[in-house]
Amino acid sequence: MKSKKAQTLGISIITSFIILLIGLVVINFLTPEIDRARIDLNCSAADDISDGTKLTCLAVDIVVIYWVLIIFSVIIGGITGNIVSGRAARLVQ
């Protein structure tokens, strides 16, 4: 019979994989909206827009990168959190 730590680690890996899949699906929904925002802000004409609009264009471009970083940090946090909590529970016993 497997130990509870091994079962918890397996469940956390499966849950992390599901979070990754959901995050990748959401990115597919975000990218058309980002493209539409870039067109509406006229981000391709860098000389004709104000500094505030340039900053907004930069923030719009960074959304996908931040989304990927958030997904991976949640996944890594979930896996390591279960490993650490399993070790802590073993130390208490």
The pLDDT assigned to 89 comes to: 56
DSSP state of 27: H
Neighbours of 85 (CB within 10 A): 13
The pLDDT assigned to 91 comes to: 54
Domain boundaries, the chain: 20-92
The pLDDT assigned to 2 comes to: 57
Q: Which residues contact 5 (CB under 8 A, 6 or more apart)?
A: 86, 90
**Which residue has tokens 């989304």?**
67
Q: Which residues contact 49 (CB under 8 A, 6 or more apart)?
A: 41, 42, 43, 57
The letter for the amino acid at 48 is D
Residue numbers of the chain with a pLDDT score lower than 50: none
Q: Could you give the CA distance from residue 2 to residue 86 in angstroms, rounded to a whole number?
A: 14
